[in-house]
């Protein structure tokens, strides 16, 4: 049929991955066939293999791109010279913006990582565990420095991550409530509800 449309600064592989993320989110990785993906791009399924290696490679790419983005931001935040409270706020805001800007990709990384094959599955889980434990360390530090109340660090981090992941639910209501409104509310709820006053 027609040719793969490449927006500027984007290879054809990027176009395929972007569309894959969108379909994987809506129908799941296993629920999306290569024929379906191809049709959505306007090409035959076999043509995709001129640009990618395999279907699972697509999932790997999406999951590890997201994981990497979060890891990078965590690393940068850790070594920046601001208060622990500000560090936590920065991380939460990053989560919120990732969820808003890269909705499909973040959703897929959150929900479809189970479909990764070894050794990628183990690799992904290790990275996630590392991320969590470094956030816990951050909260512990905040408690030591008397910036935070004497809360359970593990519980606090998981509550934050849960609430942020819940931003998915808001995708359906983008019209009714503004993003800014949600962001302000959530930051207040999560951060200054914890910080010592």
Query: Site residues (CB under 7 A) for DNA?
Result: 1-4, 12, 32-36, 38, 43-47, 49-51, 54-56
Looking at 28-83, list the stretches that DSSP marks H as alpha helix, in order from N- to C-terminal side: 34-41, 55-79
Which residue of 47, 123, 127, 159 would you call a contact of a second copy, by CB under 8 A?
Answer: 159
Q: How far is the CB of 172 from a second copy (least distance, A)?
A: 9
Question: Are 112 and 84 contacting, i.e. CB atoms less than 8 angstroms apart?
Answer: no
Q: Tell me which residue has tokens 């991955």.
A: 17
User: Would residue 54 be called left, alpha or beta, if left means φ above 0 and alpha means ψ between -120 and 50 degrees?
Assistant: beta
Our finding on whether 167 is near a second copy (CB under 8 A) is yes
Closer to DNA by CB, 46 or 80: give it.
Answer: 46
Our finding on whether 197 is near a second copy (CB under 8 A) is no
What's the 3-state SS for 145-172? CCCECCCCHHHHHHHHHHHHHHHHHHHH
Tell me whether the omega of the peptide bond preceding residue 119 falls within 30 degrees of 0, making it cis: yes
d(CA 165, CA 35): 31
Closer to DNA by CB, 35 or 149: give it.
Answer: 35
Which residue of 5, 27, 80, 196 would you call a contact of a second copy, by CB under 8 A?
Answer: 27
Q: 158 is written with which tokens?
A: 């998981």
Closer to a second copy by CB, 43 or 59: give it.
Answer: 59
Name the one range near a second copy by CB under 8 A: 28-36, 45-53, 65-73, 94-102.
Answer: 28-36
Q: How far is the CB of 68 from a second copy (least distance, A)?
A: 21
Closer to a second copy by CB, 122 or 162: give it.
Answer: 162
């Amino acid at each position: 049929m027609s040719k793969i449309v490449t927006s500027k600064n984007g290879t054809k592989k990027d176009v395929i991955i972007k569309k894959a993320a969108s379909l994987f989110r809506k129908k799941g990785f296993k629920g999306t066939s290569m024929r379906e993906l191809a049709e959505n791009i306007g090409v035959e399924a076999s043509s995709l293999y001129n640009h990618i290696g395999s279907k699972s490679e697509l999932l790997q790419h999406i999951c590890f791109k997201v994981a990497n983005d979060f890891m990078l931001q965590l690393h940068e935040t850790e070594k920046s010279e601001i208060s622990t409270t500000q560090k936590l706020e920065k991380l939460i805001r990053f989560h919120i913006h990732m969820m808003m800007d890269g909705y499909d990709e973040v959703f897929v990384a959150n929900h479809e990582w189970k479909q990764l094959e070894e050794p990628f599955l183990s690799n992904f889980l290790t990275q996630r565990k590392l991320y969590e434990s470094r956030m816990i360390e951050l909260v512990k530090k905040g408690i030591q420095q008397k910036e935070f109340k004497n809360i359970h660090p593990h519980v606090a981090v998981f509550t934050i991550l849960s609430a942020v992941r819940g931003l998915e639910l808001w995708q359906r209501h983008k019209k009714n409530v503004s993003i800014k409104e949600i962001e302000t509310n959530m930051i207040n709820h999560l951060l200054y509800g914890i910080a010592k006053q």
